[in-house]
Amino acid sequence: MKLLQSGPFPELASYLRGKRGLITRRWLRAVRFDPTIELAGKLTTDQLLDHLPLLHEEICAVLCAPPEETTLARLHSDARMHGRDRWLHGYQLDELFRELNLLQRCVQQASREFFTDTPTPRSVQSAAHQLIEALFSVTIHSAIRQLLEDQDRQIAATTGERDKALAAQQKSEERLRMAASAAGSGIFEWDIPTRAGIWENSRMYEITGQPHSDGPLSCSAFVRKLVHPDDAEALITQYMDSMQHGSDFHATFRILRIDNRMPRVVELHGRFRVDREGSMRSFTGTLTDITRRTIAEESLRETDRRKDAFLATLAHELRNPLAPIRNAARIIKQFSAVVPPEVEWARLMVERQCEHLTRLIDDLLDVSRISSGKIRLQCEVFDIREAVRSAVEINAPAAEEHRDHIQVTLPGSAVLVNADRVRLTQVFSNLLDNAIKYSNDSSEIAIEVTALPGTVQVVVRDNGMGIPLSQLARMFEPYVQLAPAEGRGRSGLGIGLSVVENLVKMHGGHVTAASDGVGHGSQFTVSLPAADAPAEVVAAMIELPTAQPVRLRVLIVDDNQDAAQSLAMVLDGHEVRCAFNAQSAQAIAQSFHADAVILDIGLPGMSGYELGRHLRTLPGTAQALFVTLSGFGAPEDILRSREAGFARHFVKPVRPEVLIEFLRDATAR
C-alpha cells in the first residue's frame, strides 16, 4: 500500500520521537477529560496506551521514508490491532474515532511547535501537515474497518432474523453517529425521484438554521431557501453532472442561514445510491461549515499581499540611495587619472558594496516572487556564452579583491538556448559568488560551458572549503547556509542557491551540487535544454558596425535630487536638464526639446506613467525616447512600463555604462 507525499521529513520525525512522552501526556489528559469517550475513564493507563507506541513509531517511520519507499502495511496492521483491542473493551465507533482524532491533534500540535522553532518554507510545512493528516486517515479508517468487521462477525453469529435486523440497524446507527462526530458535519439524505428530504441530523439543522419543527430540507428548498443566489446556478449544474455520471459530489459554496440570513461558507460531500435496476434512488451528503477556515486562508493571502507590498517598498527605498552612490563612483572614475590611489580604492570599494547590496535586494525579492509564482520569464533564443561572460564580469571585482582567478572555458561556436537572458546571468552570477565566498584567497575557480546532444551544461567548480556530505541534500533549501571560508565575513541571506534552483527549473532544466567533503571543493552543474537557431537569431549574430556616439538632449525627472544630478554628471557626453517634480518637468519640456526622457515612477503628486503620457502630447517631446528609472523592479512594474509605452524599464541602481550604451544603441536604431 503506497501513499503519495512530498517528503521525506526526517528532522520532523526525529523531533516527534523525542517528544513522544509529551505527546502521550497531552493525549491522555485529553482522552480522560473528553465526555464523549465514556469508556476511557474505566480503562487503566496501560490499557489506553497498549498500541500507542507502535502507532507513534510507524508514523515517524513513514515521515522519514522517501515517497518511493513509503509503505503503510505495518501502520495498517497496527491500526487494526488497536481497533480490535478497543472493540473488546466495548468501544463504539464514535469513541474510537474521537480517541484517534485527539491523537492526531496532539501530533499536529507538536509539529507546529517544531516548525515554529525551525524556519521552513510554508509549502514544506503544508506538505508535512497534509502527510500527517493522511497517515491518521489511514490509521482511523483501518481501526474502524476492523471494529466494523468484528461487529459484522457478531451479527453473523446472531441467530434469528429479528436479532440480525436489530444488529444491522445498530451498526448503521453507529456509522452515522461516527460520521456526525467527524469535524462537526451535518448529514442529510434526499429522495431522488421526489426530491424530498428524508432525514437530517441535529448538526445539519444547526448549520442551515432550519427549524427542527419544519423537518429536513428538500433538494429544491435547499437551493431556493439556503444557497446564496450567486452560487446556486453553478451548484445545480455540478449536481446534475455528478448525477448523470454517477460520480461522487464535492462542492464549496456560500449559504445564507434560513433563520437570520447570516452568510456562511460550506463544503458539501455526497454520493448517489443506485438500486439493483440501476435507477438513482437517493443522495446522501455531509455539510461542513468552513467559514472560519476560509477566513483564515483569506487572511493568509492578505498577509502575503501585504508582505509583497512591504518588500517592494523596502526594495524601492533601499535602491533609491544606491543610485546616486553608484553614479558618484562612476563620476570619480571619469577623473581616475588625476585622483590619488586612495580615492581610486574608495571608488572601487563603493562599486563593490553597491553591487553586493543590490544583489541581496534582488535575491530577497526573488525568493518571495518565486514562492508566490509571480516571476515570468522573458525568453528568447540567444548564445548562453553571453550570460556566462556577463556573470564573470559581475563577479570580477569580488574575485580581484580576494586574488581569486576565474578560468572561463567556452566552446568556439555559439551555444543557443531559449531562455531569459537576465535570469540565466543571475543564475551563473550567484554560483560564482558562492564559489568566491566559500574559497580561501588566491583560489582557482572555473566555469565551463559544454554543448551536449539536446542539452547545455554549465559547470562552476572551485577548490574551496567543500560541502559536508550531510549538507549536500539541503544546499538548495531557502536560508540554508554554511559558515564561510576562514577570513571571509559571513554575508548573504542563504537564499542564492534556492533562487538558482527555482530559476533553472522554470527553464526546464535542473541543477546539482557535488563535493567530496570538507576541504575538497565543490561543483555545481546546471543542465538546460538546447535550442535551434531561428533565422532572425542567426542574422543577429552577425556583428554590426559600432554606432558613433551622438550628443543627445536628455531630460532627467527624479524627486531624489542627488540621484538626478549625479546621473546628469554621468551623462556628461550629452546635453542634460534635470527636473525634480512633474510641474518643473513640464515647464522645461516646453523649451527643451528632449531626444530622451528618463523618468522616475514614484514622483510626488503625479506618477511617472502619468507624466510620460502628458509629455507625449507636447510638441517638444512627442517623438522623444521615454525610459523609466525606478526603485520598483517587480515583473508587474516592468510590464506596466511596457504597456505605458516606455522603451525600457531600468531598476535602480542602474550601472551607468548600461544606460549609456542603451542610449547610444537606441539613437543608432
pLDDT at 160: 54
Q: Could you tell me which of 214, 12, 190, 14 has the C-alpha nearest to residue 113? A: 12
- DSSP run (H or E) holding 626: strand 625-630
Residue 202 has which C-alpha cell?
Answer: 441535529
CA distance 18 to 24: 11
CA distance 585 to 605: 13
Residue 610 has which C-alpha cell?
Answer: 502619468
Instruction: Tell me the helix, strand and coil percentages in the chain, rounded to 5.
Output: 55, 15, 30
CA distance 409 to 458: 10
Cβ atoms 626, 647 nearer than 8 A: yes
Q: Which residues pair with 514 in a beta bridge?
A: 523
Residue whose cell numbers read 531557502: 478
Residue 590 has which C-alpha cell?
Answer: 516646453
Residue 597 has which C-alpha cell?
Answer: 526622457
pLDDT at 490: 43
pLDDT tens profile 40-96: 777 888 888 877 888 888 888 888 877 665 566 777 777 778 777 777 777 776 777
Domain 379-542 carries which CATH code? 3.30.565.10
pLDDT at 191: 92
Q: Which residues of the chain have pLDDT under 70?
A: 1-7, 67-72, 93, 151, 155-184, 308, 311-312, 315-316, 336-337, 352, 356, 359-360, 362-376, 478-495, 533-549, 667-669
pLDDT at 242: 92
Task: Determine if the pTM surpasses 0.85.
Answer: no
CA distance 496 to 395: 14
Residue whose cell numbers read 459484522: 152
- Architecture in CATH of 10-178: Orthogonal Bundle (1.10)
Residue 515 has which C-alpha cell?
Answer: 563535493
Where are the strands (E) in 42-87, listed by range? Answer: none
CA distance 221 to 171: 31
pLDDT at 1: 41
pLDDT tens profile 405-452: 999 999 999 999 999 887 888 899 889 988 988 888 889 999 999 999
Cβ atoms 510, 529 nearer than 8 A: no
Q: Could you tell me which of 377, 393, 390 has the C-alpha nearest to residue 502? A: 377
CATH 3.30.450.20 fits 185-289, yes or no: yes
pLDDT at 491: 53
Residue ranges of the domains in the chain? 10-178, 185-289, 315-375+545-669, 379-542
- The burial of 530, by beta-carbon neighbours within 10 Å (0-12 exposed, 13-18 middle, 19 or more buried), is given as middle
pLDDT at 458: 95
Provide the 10 A C-beta neighbour count for residue 26: 18
Domain 315-375+545-669 carries which CATH code? 3.40.50.2300
pLDDT at 240: 93
